[in-house]
Amino acid sequence: MKILITGGAGFLGQQLARALLDRGSLRLAGGEAKVDRIVCFDQGAGALQDARVEYRTGDIADPATVRGLIDRDTAVVVHLAAVVSGGAEADFDLGMRVNLDGTRLLLDACRTAGHQPRVLFTSSIAVFGGDLPAVVTDATTPTPQGSYGIQKLVGELLVADYSRKGYIDGRAVRVPTVVVRPGAPNAAASGFASGIIREPLAGVAAILPVEPATKMWVASPRAVVGMFLHALELSPQDWGWNRSINLPGLVVSMEEELAALREVGGDAAVALVRHQPDEKVLKLVRTWAANFDTARALAMGFRADPDFATIVRAYIEDNPTAIKLPGVRRSA
């Protein structure tokens, strides 16, 4: 079978492709389906090279391009491509074009293909905002306070309707803030939660633009990719009519992140983090939810990380060449 990953050259796309290659198959409706080919669609190619991986570049908001991405062999589509929160807030038209038009074109291409492909749409906890309860539950109404969250929620609604109509077999997962994200910072307003771990471990200064007591709902790249695979392998019956779910994660304050950083990198690591409030980031982050009761996802078998120290250790293990601070402990 063929798997399409949009945003496939991005960080999570590459991790997912790697995990799919390692597995070699996915458990779908007809039993174990062999991963014959992974089409990674993005604006450029990724580092992962494998005979089964094919890179395609183009514009996710171009109808002809998107139609050409899906054929009868495309059993699974994972839609990761998106303009992130800070980007969608700064450039409204770009966010609408990529996050809304792109998603709709992709769903329409699946519908046109006619074989009801299994589609995983990666939504975000940024769909929650406004006057939130202390703990967000499966019953909490998403009322996004940013264009990114709005666009993601619209995507969820389309996935729900295309699934109900039988055009796709869709599922949408609301992903926690992914920490620690390797590589260069992106335009996500939540980027600092990775930056204050990643940069000091690389021996580079980092800025904490929010209060140290600020809490976030986070999950590691490993946990998130594992949950993507789980979301894909659950049956339509497991999902039922409600195709959106809040993924499990961990509540962590920035103080707790710094404590975990101190544990592996010592005072020298923490000294590289400077607290410098940024009103633009604060305004967005304050509207986000930090604590979730993800009962439905847990009952469906989704699992997050055990604790934040494990997340930091996994980052160090997975990114050995990015660790440049002297004396970093590489295992517990």
Indicate which residues carry an active-site annotation.
148
CB nearer to its own copies: pick between 153 and 175 = 153
Where b means 16+ CB within 10 Å and e means fewer, 276-306 reads eeeeebeebbebbbbebbbebbeeeebebbe
Q: Which DSSP state fits 41? A: E
Kindly state whether residue 46 participates in binding its own copies, applying the rule CB under 8 A. Answer: no
Kindly state whether residue 92 participates in binding its own copies, applying the rule CB under 8 A. Answer: yes
Tell me if 6 sits within 8 A of 42, measured CB to CB. yes
Q: Which residues have CB under 8 Å from 23's CB, separation 6+?
A: 35, 229
Tokens representing 314 are 């996994």
Interface with its own copies in residues 98-137 (CB under 8 A): 130-131
Judged by CB under 8 A, the stretch of 23-31, 73-81, 154-162, 221-229 that binds its own copies is 154-162
Would you tell me how many other CB atoms lie within 10 Å of the CB of residue 238? 13
CB nearer to its own copies: pick between 35 and 154 = 154
Judged by CB under 8 A, the stretch of 69-77, 140-148, 251-259, 290-298 that binds its own copies is 140-148
The HSE-up count of residue 131 (CA atoms within 13 Å, CB side) is 0
What's the closest the beta carbon of residue 196 comes to its own copies, in angstroms? Answer: 29
Q: Which residues have CB under 8 Å from 41's CB, separation 6+?
A: 4, 5, 6, 7, 8, 55, 56, 57, 58, 60, 69, 81
Judged by CB under 8 A, the stretch of 75-83, 158-166, 168-176, 269-277 that binds its own copies is 158-166
Reduced 3-state DSSP string for 54-84: EEEECCCCCHHHHHCCCCCCEEEEEECCCCC
Q: Which of 66, 120, 132, 160 binds its own copies (CB under 8 A)?
A: 160
Tell me if 180 sits within 8 A of 315, measured CB to CB. yes
Kindly state whether residue 157 participates in binding its own copies, applying the rule CB under 8 A. Answer: yes
What's the closest the beta carbon of residue 294 comes to its own copies, in angstroms? Answer: 15
Judged by CB under 8 A, the stretch of 150-158, 168-176, 200-208, 301-309 that binds its own copies is 150-158
Q: Which of 147, 214, 246, 294 binds its own copies (CB under 8 A)?
A: 147
- CA–centroid distance for 217 within its chain: 12
Kindly state whether residue 289 participates in binding its own copies, applying the rule CB under 8 A. Answer: no
What's the closest the beta carbon of residue 210 comes to its own copies, in angstroms? Answer: 21
CB nearer to its own copies: pick between 235 and 242 = 242
Kindly state whether residue 72 participates in binding its own copies, applying the rule CB under 8 A. Answer: no
Interface with its own copies in residues 226-265 (CB under 8 A): 241-242
Long-range contact list for 91-94, CB < 8 A, 24+ apart? 92/147
Residues that bind its own copies (CB under 8 A): 92, 130-131, 139-145, 147, 150, 153-154, 157-158, 160-161, 164-165, 241-242
